[in-house]
Amino acid sequence: MSFGPLQLCLLFSSALFCVGLMGALSRSNAILVLLGIELMLNAANINFIAFWRYGPEPSPATGVIFVIFAIAIAAAEAAVGLALVIAIYRHQRNIRLQEADTLKG
């Protein structure tokens, strides 16, 4: 099994995804969870770029466009997420996710 640039990129993005996932699962601070989620998102973006650059058939800038869209949407999503965090903070005077369980069944 040889390691070309594509495989290295995929290993890196997998590592980044796992770091993000662990961060999101293990932290109770909502902001840190959001950070973890951003890491996972960016791991996906790296995959887009890698497959575009080193993929079997180099094509027009499809992957780059995807990533730009994803970054723009991620920015909006981060704004919404932070606004939610602020709302939760106002409501319960902290941002511990374990305690934000008002919507449980």
Partner 1 sequence: MNLPVAQLWLIPALPLLAAGIGALTPRGGRRLAATVAIGALALSFLLSVGALITALADPAAHLVHNFDWFELGSGTLRLGWVLDPLTAFMAVMVTFVGLLIFIFSTGYLRADANFTRFFCFLSLFAAAMLGLVIANSLLLLFICWELVGLASYLLIGFWFHKPAAAAAAKKAFITTRIGDLGLLLGMVWLYDSTGSLLFFDGGAGVLEPAALDALAAQATIGGLAISTAIGLLIFCGAVGKSGQFPLHVWLPDAMEGPTPVSALIHAATMVAAGVFLVARVYPLMIADQPLAHVPVHALTVVAAVGAVTALLGAVIAIGQYDIKRILAFSTVSQLGYMMLALGVGSWVAAIFHLLTHAFFKALLFLAAGSVIDAAHHEQDLRHLGGLRGPMRITFATFAIGTMALAGVPFLFSGFWSKEGILHAAHGWDVSPLPLYAGLVAVVLTAFYMTRLVAEVFHGTARGEGAAHAKESPPTMTIPLLILAGCAIALGFLGTPAWPWLQARLEGRTEIHGHSLLEGGGLMALSILLVALGIGAGWALYGRRTRTRAAAVDPLAARIPRIFSALTDRLWFDELYAATVGRLSDGTARLADLLDRHVWDGTIRFLSGLGLFAGFVNRDADEDVLNGGFDAGSAGLRRGGQAYSRRQTGDAHGYLRVVAISFVVLVMVIMLGGGQ
Stretch that binds partner 1, among 24-32, 44-52, 66-74, 75-83 (CB under 8 A): 24-32
Is 2 a binding residue for partner 1 by CB under 8 A? The answer is: no
CB atoms within 10 A of CB 50: 19
Q: What's the CA gap between 1 and 43, in Å, rounded?
A: 23
Helical segments of the chain, H only = 5-26, 30-54, 62-92
Mask for 58-97, x = binds partner 1 (CB under 8 A) = ---------------------------------------x
Is 32 a binding residue for partner 1 by CB under 8 A? The answer is: no
Nearer to partner 1, 53 or 96 (CB): 96
| DSSP, residue by residue, 55-81 | SSS--SSHHHHHHHHHHHHHHHHHHHH
Q: Of the candidates 7, 28, 92, 94, which one interacts with partner 1 according to CB under 8 A?
A: 28
